[in-house]
Structure 1
Amino acid sequence: MKLTKRTLLTGLAAGLLSATGLAGTAYAQTTLTVLVDNSADTVKFSEALIAAFEAKHPDINLELETRPGGAEGDNITKTRLATQSMNDIFLYNSGSLLQALNPERTITPLTGEPVLDRVADSFEQAVTFNGQVYGVPVQPAMGGGILYNRKIYEELGLSIPKTWEEFMANNEKIKAAGKVAVIQTYRDTWTSQLFVLADFFNVQAQVPDFAEQYTAGKAKFATTPAALRGFEHLAEVNAAGYLNEDYGAATYDDGLHMLTSGEGAHYPMLTFAIAAITATYPDAIDDIGFFAQPGDSADSNGLTTWMPAAWYISASSPYQEEAKMFLDFAASVEGCDVITEAVGAAGPYLIDGCGLPEDVPPAVSDMLPYFQEGGQSAPALEFLSPVKGPALEQITVEVGSGTRSPADGAALYDEDVRKQAQQLGLPGW
C-alpha cells in the first residue's frame, strides 16, 4: 500500500471523529491514480487541477504519478495498458499515436457523455477510433514552429523569416554575433522531430493530397521532395555550425534556459513550451516570440498545428464514474481557468466558453493570427493519417547529428512507417 501524508492525516481525523462520536460526518476516501509525463509544466497544471478537483469532491483523492516523455514514456503507457495495470486516469497523445494503444480494449469510451458537448469537433476527431470518442483535451491547441529570442532579433535588426532561405540568413548573422543560432536538445530525443513534423504545412502546400496518398502507402518521404525537405533542414543547420556544441547531451529544460537567457536565438518547438517558460522563467516570457517554420515560398507561409494531448480513463479502472467526474472538471471553463492560472495560456482552448486573458505572452499573440480567419494553418500529419512510425525521433537525432544523410533517414523512416501501417492492418501496405 502507498501510505501518503494525506492518507495518514485522513486516518487520524477519522479516529478523532470516532472518538468524539462524530464519525458519521467523516468522508470515505476513494483514491484514484493519475499518470502524466514528467515535464515541469505538465506536473504543475496537473497538480493544480487535482487540488481544485479535490476541493470540490473531498471524498475523492487523486494521487499523481509521473513518467518520462518520448519513447520511454510510450513504452510504459503501452505496457501498463496491455497488462491491465494502467493508472485510473492517464495523459497521452491524441491523433495517430492513440491507435497504437488499442483503445477498443484498453480505454473507456466517452461517446454520449455530456462533457463532449463542450469539446470542439476538431479535437473529437483526433481522439475518435472506429466511431468511439476516447478523450478530452488536456491543454490548448498548439503550433509547431520556432520559438525565438526577441531581444536578439532587436539587437541584430532581424526580421521574421517567411522562407527557409531568410531563416538561414538570420542564422548566419546570429552565429557571427557569437550566439547559438539554433538550439537542439537531442538528449530528449522527442525534441529532434520538429524540423520534420512542423514542416507539414509546407509539404501540404506543395502536395495537397500527400496525407491521403501517404496513408494509402503511395507517397513516401524519401521520394517526395517536399516531404524530404524537413530531413534536409536538420542536416543543413548542423552542417552550417548553427547548433549549440552540447546538442547531443542537452535536454528540453536546457533548451528553454538557453533560449530565455539569450544564449540561443531559435528553438524549434511546440508552443506548449510557452507554459513551461511562464512557469520557470516568468521574467523572460516577454522576450520570447514565435513564428511558423519557414518553407520555400513566402506566399504559402503558414502554421502546422497540433491538437493537445488528452485525458483518458483506463478500461481496467474500478472507479469509472469518479474518473469521468475528473475529466468533466478538467474539460470545463473552471478547469481551463485553473490551467491558465497555473501555467498561463499557450494557445486557444478547445472547450466552449474557455477564453484567453488579455495579457497573453507575446509568443501566444504571435501564434493566434494563424488560427484566425484569414490566417494560414493546417493540422500536423499525425492528425490526418493514422500512420506515424515510432522510430522517427531516433532517426531525426541521427540526421540532425550528421551521422545519417537526409535521404537515408527519410528512407529508413519510410520503412518504419511501413511496419507500423502493417501492424494497423491498413490496405495498400
Structure 2
Amino acid sequence: MDDAIIEDDDLSLGRKSVIPGEGFFVPDSLEESHEEEAAAEALDGASVAVVADPDADGLACVALLRELYGDEPPAEPAVGDEAAGEEDETDPDTPVDVAEEAPGRVSRDVALIPAGPHDLEEGIEYVAEYGAAGIDLFVCDLCPDRYEYVESELEAAVETADSVRWFDHHQWDDAVAEQVRAAGVELVVGDSDEECTADVALRSLDHEFPERFAELAAVTRDHDLWIREDPRSDDLADFSYWSDPGEYVDVVMRHGPDLPEETLAFVEERRVEKQALIDRAVSRADMREVGPWTVGVTYGRCSQNEVAEALREQGADASVVVKPAGSASIRGTDAFERCHEVARQVNGGGHPKAAGCKPDIYDDMLDYANHWTTRGAVTKQVILDAFRTLVPENGESEEIPEPTEEDAEE
C-alpha cells in the first residue's frame, strides 16, 4: 500500500475525522512483533517491571515506582542553555538528587511495558518470558474482564517474579479479584468514585514521596474521575496522549503536574486540531431516548471526554462516541452510572461513568469500509441495544439514521 494513502499529514480535517489513523493499517502481527522486541529490550537488565496503561493515570504510577526505586530521569538542560545536558544548579527545574534525598537507596532499572485492556495478557507474558528471575512486577491501571484472559500469563509471571503487585481502581468482578489474589498477587483496588490508580499506588507504596508526586496523583485524579476542577489535569491528559510514554514519565518525575513552558506550548499547538475534531463529532451527534435516559450518539476520531461533556450540556444522560477504528467510548453522568454494564455486553468494561468497548462485529475490511461510510451505524445500534437491555420491556429498537449529505461530503 502506498504510504501516502494512510498518512495523516495531507488529509483534510473532514476526512481525518472519519477514518482511523495510520497505525490502524499496520497488521497486528507486525505491531506485536515490534512491541515484543521493545519489551525484551526494556526488560534486559531490569529488576523492576511495570505493565501499565500508557495514559496519564498509568504513567503516573510508573513515575512513582521509578522514584521509589531510585531511577532518575535523564539530565535536562536549563531553558536557554546552548550546551545540551549542561545543568544550571540554580534552576528550580534541575533534577532532584535522589541519592541526596534518600541516602542508601540503590538505583534499579524500572522497565515500562505499555499495555491496554486488550493486550494486558501480552504485557504480562513479556515479563514472564524476558524478565530476569526474581524481578519485581507491578501491574497498574488495568483490569481483566475474566481471569481466563490472563491466567496462564499471570501464573508464568508469578513463577518468574519475586513479587507481583497490582494497583487499580476499575470495577473488578469479585471472582476475578479472588482468582488473581489466589495466584499469588497482592491486589489493591481503589474506589473508582474516589481514587485513580495513582492514588492507590501512592498510598500502597511504603515510601515518603516528595510533595510533587502527591500533587501529581491529585491532579491525575481530577481528570481520570472527570472532576475537572484543576486546569492542569487536561494538560496532563493531553500530554500523555501526544507524547511517548517514557518522555511523559521523565517530565512528570521532574515537574509533577506543573508542566514546563515548552511542554505546554507543544500541547497548545496540538489542541487547535483537537478542538476542530471535537467540533465535528459534536455537530454530527444524535440524541436517542432509551427508557428513562437520553443518550447522545456520535462518530469520529476525537477526544471522547470533551465530546461527552458537550453532549451532556445538550441534555445527554449518557454519551456514546464511536471511533473509526471500531471501538467506542461510553460516558455517563449523575443521571446514568451504568456505563460498565453497557460495555460488558459488547466486549468491554470500565467504570460506572466511563467505559470502553469494541463490539466483535468486524470480520473483514468490507465490514470496516461499511463502518466508515455509514459513520459507525452498526456499532451504534449494537451499543444502543446494550443500553436497552438495562430497561426491561422498553419496546423495539430505534433505527440509526443513514449518513447525512454533509457527512457524505466529508
Same fold (TM over 0.5): no
What is the TM-score of this pair, normalised by structure 2?
0.31
Higher relative contact order (CA 8 A, sep 6+): 1
What is the TM-score of this pair, normalised by structure 1?
0.30
